[in-house]
Structure formats: C-alpha cells, structure tokens
A and B are shown apart, each in its own frame.
Chain A
Amino acid sequence: MFGYVAEFSSASELYHAAEKVRDAGFKKWDVHTPYPVHGIDHAMGLGKSWLSAVVLCGGVLGSFTALALQFFTQVALYPTVVQNKPTNLFTLPAFFPVTFELTILFSAFATLFGLLVFIQLPRWNHPLFESKLFKKFSDDGFILVIESRDPRFKRDKTRSFLEEIGADEIEAVVV
C-alpha cells in the first residue's frame, strides 16, 4: 500500500485539514491543489527549503569560475592590453559583466539540478498516478496524501482520522 488519497471540498477545508495533519505529527504527506494557496506552507508546517543554500553555492561558484577564468587568461598567462587599461587588479571592472552572467548561469543550473535531486526526478512513474481521485487535483480537487511509510501511519486509524478532519472521499492507493 502506498497511502491514502483524500479529497476536500475547498481550499479552506484543505488548509484546516493540513493544520490538523501537521499537529498530529505526520511527516510523509503532501497536499495538491489546482492553484497556489497562500500560507499553505505554514499550515503544513514546512520548514525552510534547503534549495536556496544550493543556489547560493552555485552562484558563488559561478562568480569565482568567471573571475578565475578571466584573471588567469587575461592577466596572468597572457596579459591583454585593451584601450590602455591596466592588466592587474584594477582591471576588475572589465571582468564584471562576465562574472555577473556566470553567477546567474550557475545559480540557474544549481536551482534546476538541485530541485531535480530534491524531488527525485526524473523517474518513470509514481504510485499516485494509479489513483483516480488524485487526477482531480489539476481540475477542481483539493487533495491531501498521507503515505504509508510515515511512522504514524496505521491502516485503519489514519483512514478514520482523515474522515474525522473532513475528507469527502478517501481512496487507498495500492501498488
């Protein structure tokens, strides 16, 4: 069994349900909505994402790559005099545009690839695609999913808990 998929009637219902699931101490669960719901991260008790740290590393790496590349080639190995500009530390302004661009590029790469690692993509399939109920999230369904690998997950208790917090329909996803 992968877990339970539960549908709620509105964003507001889902928001309150998320607060209750959070307070019940579940960790391996998620919500899916047709549009972004403000404050849902707070209701789910999500902490700060580590992605920004990865992006920072990417950006810093980009800056240093660009500066190193330019300093080694244009100043150290083969000093290139353009328009009587100095070939030492004071050439720095000339290197800024490239540094700026590489910082952006490396940050963007770090964002993309970091995200892919964090969300474990690409993958061929996902158990949730077996669920009919889950498909409604991209139309008009407000979906909450609790996975069975959560330590607090109990086949009967979790089902009744979901009913208790106001789920309209519950589907067990079995793979």
Chain B
Amino acid sequence: MAGLKNADDYANGERFKGAGIFGVLSLGVGVVATVVFFLVVILNRETVVDLGGGHTEAVSVTKCLAFSWLFAVVFFLSIAVGGMFWTMLHHATNSGWGTLVRRLMENLGIMIPVLLFLSLPLVLKQVGFRDVLWEWFKDRAAAEVVAEEKAEEKKGVYIAEIRGKAEAVKSEIAEVEKIKAAGGDITPGVARFYDDQIEELTEKSKVLSAHAEMEDEALVEELKGKEFQKVNALLYAKRSYLEENFWLLRFVLYAVVLGGGMYLLRSTSLKQDKTGDPRLFTRMQTMSCLILLPFAVAWTFLVFDWLMALDYSWFSTMWGVYLFAGAALNSMGVLVLILSALRRAGYLTDVITKEHYHMMGKLMHAFVIFWAYIAFSQFFLIWYANITEETKFFLTRNTGFWNVYTIMFLVIGHFFIPFIVLLIRYHKTTTWIICSVAVWNLFMHFFDIYWIVIAERAPSLVAGEVTHIPKMWMFDLLAFVGVGGIFIFALLKALGSASLFPCRDPRLDESLNLTN
C-alpha cells in the first residue's frame, strides 16, 4: 500500500530535549506550593465553623489539610497507576497499535515512586495526618485503653468465674456417678441414660478445663478482647486487618508491586532501545501477565486502605474497580495531552497520525462508559438494598451541598457529556476536540476524587449536620498545585531520559502503519 513507513528508518528514536523554562517553572511552583502548604500545617491555626442555630465550633486547620494532601496525592497517583495499567495491557494483549505511545505510558507509570514518596506525610504518624484521616487508628487505641482498664478491673472476677465453671462441671460428673452407683442393680437402659449424661458432661468439662488451665495473662488478654468488642464491635470484627503494623506492611507491599513492577517494565523497555533484542519483547509480555494480577490486588487494597477506610464502618466491594476505572480513563486522557503537547513542540510529528488519536479516543470512550457503569452499579446496589451501614457513604454525598455537586459533575459531567462527544469519529481524530475532552475528563476526575475524599472531612471533624468546612478549598487547590507541579517536573525529566518511543520494538512497523 502507498507510502508504508519502515521501522528501520526510525531505529534511532527521537529524543526529547527538555521543556526548558517550563520544567523549571513547574518545579518552582510545585515546591513553593508544597512549602506554603506545610507551613500552614505547622502553624496549626484554627478555623471557626458555623454549626447553625447560633453555634460555632473551632476546627484545627492542620486536620482539614490532611484531607487536602490525600486528595492531591491520590489524584496524581491514580493517573500514574493508569499509565502502568496501559503499559501492561499493551504487552499482555500483544497489541501493536500503541507501540509509539508505549514509552509515554511507561513514563507516566514511573511517576508511581515519586507519588509514593509524596504520600509519606500521610503514612508517617509524626506528621499528624494519619490519625485524622483514618479514624480507626485513634478509635482502636481508645478502645484498647478502655479494654485494658476494664480488664484490669474485672480480671479477678473473670478468672475465678472461668475456673469456677470448670470445677462445677467436675462436681456435676461426680454427682451423676454417685446417683448411678446408689441405684444398685439397674437395667441396661437406665445405665446407658447415666452413661450418656456422664459422657456429655465430660466433653463439656474437657473444654472448660482447657480454658481454666490457661495462664492468667492469656485469660486477661481474652477478657480485653471481650471488652474491646463491647466498646466497638465493628472495629473488633476488623481488628486483624485494621492493625498498625499490618497497615504499614501493606504500604510497603504496594510500593514493591506498583513501583517495583513499573521500574522493571520500564528498564527492560529501555534496554530494548539499545540492544533491539526481540527476546526482551517476549520477556516484557510475560512480566506484564505476571504483574497484572498483583497490580490489581495492590491498587484495590491501596484504595481500600486510603479512601474506603476514611470511614472504617463503610464498605463497598466495587470500590477498587471504581477507582481503577477513573484511573485508566484519565491516564489515557493525560497520554493524549502529552502526545499533543509534544507534537506541538515539534516531536513525533511524522510518526503519530490521526489513527493513533482515533485509537486513544476509542479507549477513552470505552472507559467513560465503564466508569459510569461501575459508578452507577455501586450507587444502585447501595441505594436499592437500603442497608444502614452501606447508605452512609451516599447519604453524606447525596444531601445538601454535595447532592447538586454529584448530579452536576459526576452524572452529567463525568458521563453524559464525554459519552456523547466521543460518539462521533471526527471528534476522536481531531486533535483539539479530543484534547478538550481529555481536559474536561481530568476536571471531572478532579471532582470525583474531591467528592470521595473531601466530603468526608466535615463529618469527620465537626459535629452535627455540617457538610463542608468553608474556605478550605483554597488549601485543597494549594496541595493540588504542589503535588501537580512536582509531578509535571518529574514527568518531563522522565520524558527526556530516553527515546520518546520504543525505537527497536518488533511491533514498531505495525504501529507506524496503523489503520483503524
């Protein structure tokens, strides 16, 4: 066919020469915003919230800011994780269309370590964010203190009671044996009646004696558990998962799976740029298939730990896939934007065609629908089942201020508008339209994460019916700019560190001559 491109002509790749002043500017803005943000945290001022009816309450700004930082980190982390997902999907499905874009996906994915580093203020107890965001830390500590006190108070009675019960059963057995012996010459039927009774009591005695023979300390531990359960049954049921050391271990595992996995994939890809060894191509495919499952588990549990646990009494099994859908959709949007920005700056102009945009547009369209499908299913199941523990999440978000927000941004903005715009092929292949849709979707993703994290702030920090704490949006934006600036700077660095596309990939030919 006419004008086929030959991958050999592109074997040297294309280097990004850096964004010059823009990169420095984004770093500067990011660092300044972050420093100002943490200065406000250290200042630890208070803001007064109007509770209505003439009542007011003073709330620590530092506590409000914990939510801002979580929001900003999760927003950018989701985009980086989406980049990792697309890289692995491309390998695992043996795709050829996006080989030219794959390096951009890898560069987006390699932002995961950067964002995990930026998430350290959330993880480190000393900063003070952790206990504010995830109330189970302090609730658990409080419940344990109460349990300790109660156990100390009751332990004498409790131990005596356990041991007394064991003794009582033993004497009961003796009693029955005595009656049996006193009966003298009894019929086999009556003898069996007594034997059955003795057997039953012996079984019971075994259990109770084993319990009574336990060390005093073990019995006190047991009593503590029971007292803990009385204080907070919900947290007691989740105690083995919501445990500080396990929580920290999980964070390390997320870092290993997400950060380490992405680093492996990208470094193999960079090696292929130099050697052109086709075995590396199959190795990356194997790697992707192996990492996909741990990746899905890590991301699911990461959002369980960071977002769902903002209210530990609430749960949704669709939470992981809901956050994944938003991540995949918006990292595709970011890929479209990076690609267009690079082309505008004069890179990749002769390799990328509107066919690539068409592909990316189709994937965006698919994920707009997928996101809506998951989001609606989650809402629908909870709304229809109407179970108290589950409706909590949507009660906060479907009343007052947040209700208008939900309908405006999530129902109409996040689904209907991009869905209709992306239906038309012309829109997917025209750069300025697809870029506008990508930017629009990013705004909606912003509102989506904001809705998840920030809606939890007022119920966590203020008593009563207050839905949001005024003026705090400024700090939400500040945190967003801070993390965003650092993210963009690191991304530009990553772009400049290698060729802009995997120049010696065996599938380059296919991607160069893509037709839909």
Cβ of A119 within 8 Å of any chain B Cβ, yes or no, is no
Q: Residue B515 contacts which of A38, A56, A84, A85 (CB distance < 8 angstroms)?
A: A38
- Tell me whether A151 is interfacial, beta carbon within 8 Å: no
Q: Which of A15, A38, A84: most chain B Cβ within 10 A?
A: A38
The reply to whether B383 and A93 form a contact with Cβ atoms under 8 Å apart is yes
Total CB contacts across the A-B interface at under 8 A: 24
Asked if A96 and B376 make an inter-chain contact with CB atoms under 8 angstroms apart, the answer reads: yes
- Which residues in window 1-41 of B have CB below 8 A to A? 1-2
Residue in B1, B379, B380, B425 whose beta carbon sits within 8 Å of that of A15 in the complex: B1
Query: Is A12 interfacial (CB-CB < 8 Å)?
Result: yes
Nearest chain A CB to B411 CB, angstrom units = 10
Which residues 1-20 in A have Cβ within 8 Å of B in the complex? 12, 15-16, 19
In the complex, what distance in Å separates the CA atom of A97 from the CA atom of B267? 45
Inter-chain contacts of A38 with B (CB < 8 A): 515
Q: Taking the complex as formed, is A125 at the interface, i.e. its CB lies under 8 A from any CB of chain B? A: no
- Residues on A with C-beta less than 8 A from B383 are 93
Q: What are the interface flags for A80-115 relative to B under an 8 Å C-beta threshold, 1 for contact and 0 otherwise?
A: 000111000000011011000000000000000000
Residue B430, interface by CB 8 Å: no
Q: Give residues 383-403 of B contacting A (CB, 8 Å).
A: 383-384, 386
Bound CA–CA A42/B353 (angstroms): 15
Within the complex, the shortest CB–CB distance from B390 to chain A, in Å, comes to: 13
What is the chain A residue whose CB lies nearest that of B376?
A96
Report whether over half of chain B's contact residues are helix, strand or loop; otherwise say mixed: helix
Say yes or no for A122: interface residue by CB 8 A criterion.
no
- Choice from B376, B423, B515 contacting A39 with Cβ under 8 Å: B515
- Bound: A38/B355 CA distance, A: 12
CB contacts under 8 Å to B, within A146-168, are none
Q: How far is the CA of A97 from the CA of B425 in the complex (A)?
A: 27
From known contacts A38-B515, A93-B379, infer whether A83 and B384 are also in contact, taking CB-CB under 8 Å: yes
Whether A12 contacts B1 in the complex (CB less than 8 A), given A39-B515, A84-B386, comes out as: yes
Docked pose: A16 CA to B425 CA in angstroms: 26
Closest to B425 in A: A48
Interface of A is mostly: helix
0 or 1 for each of B110-154: is its CB under 8 Å from A? (1 = yes): 000000000000000000000000000000000000000000000
Q: Mark B351-388, 1 if CB is under 8 A from A, else 0.
A: 00000000000000000000000001001100110100
- Provide the A29-72 mask, 1 if CB < 8 A to any CB of B, else 0: 00000000011001100001000000010000000000000000
Residues of A within 8 A of B376 (CB): 93, 96
The chain B residue sitting closest to A19, CB to CB, is B2
Q: Which residues of B contact A96 (CB under 8 A)?
A: 376, 380
Distance from B246 Cβ to chain A, minimum over Cβ atoms (Å): 37
Nearest CB in chain A to that of B1: its residue:
A15
Task: Provide the A119-134 mask, 1 if CB < 8 A to any CB of B, else 0.
Answer: 0000000000000000
In the docked arrangement, what's the CA distance between A56 and B419, Å? 13
Contact present for B386 and A83 (CB under 8 Å): yes
Cα A137 to Cα B286 with chains together (Å): 39
**What's the minimum C-beta distance from B223 to chain A, rounded to whole angstroms?**
42
Q: How far is the CA of A97 from the CA of B380 in the complex (A)?
A: 10
Q: How far is the CA of A12 from the CA of B380 in the complex (A)?
A: 52
Give the complex CA separation of A43 and B2 in angstroms: 10
Q: Which one, A39, A93, A94, contacts B1 given CB within 8 A?
A: A39
User: Whole-angstrom distance between the alpha carbons of A35 and B135 in the complex?
Assistant: 61
Q: How many angstroms between the C-alpha atoms of A44 and B1 in the bound complex?
A: 13
Given A12-B1, A15-B1, A39-B1, also A94-B515 (CB < 8 A)? no
**Distance between Cα atoms of A56 and B423 in the complex (Å):** 10
Residues from 462 to 516 in B contacting A, C-beta threshold 8 Å? 515
User: Which residues on B sit within 8 Å (CB–CB) of A84?
Assistant: 386
* CA gap between A132 and B130 in the complex, in Å: 78
Residue of A nearest to B379 (CB): A93
Provide the residues of chain B in CB contact with A97, threshold 8 Å.
Answer: 380
Q: A39, A42, A48, A94: which contacts B384 (Cβ < 8 A)? A: A94
> In the docked arrangement, what's the CA distance between A94 and B383, Å?
9
- Which residues from chain B contact A16 at a C-beta distance below 8 Å? 2
A42 contact set on B, CB distance < 8 A? 515
Nearest CB on A from B372, distance (A): 10
Q: How many Å lie between the Cα of A17 and that of B423 in the bound state?
A: 33
Rounded to whole angstroms, the CA-CA distance of A171 and B425 in the bound complex is 39
Nearest CB of B to A35, in Å? 14
Q: Report the minimal beta-carbon distance from B394 to chain A, rounded to whole angstroms.
A: 11
Q: Which of B45-99 contact A (CB under 8 A)?
A: none
| Contacting residues, chain B, for A85 (C-beta < 8 A) | 384
Report the nearest A residue to B386, measured CB to CB.
A83
Query: Which chain A residue shows the least CB distance to B516?
Result: A38
Shortest beta-carbon distance from A153 to chain B in Å: 26
Nearest CB on B from A62, distance (A): 15
| Residues of the A chain whose Cβ atoms lie less than 8 Å from the Cβ of B384 | 83, 85, 93-94
List the 6 closest pairs (A to B, CB-CB), nearest first.
A38-B515, A39-B515, A15-B1, A83-B386, A93-B380, A93-B383
12 CB < 8 A contacts A-B:
A12-B1, A19-B2, A38-B515, A39-B1, A42-B515, A43-B1, A48-B425, A56-B423, A93-B376, A93-B384, A94-B384, A97-B380
6 more contacts with CB within 8 A, not counting A15-B1, A42-B515, are A19-B2, A39-B1, A83-B386, A93-B384, A96-B380, A97-B380
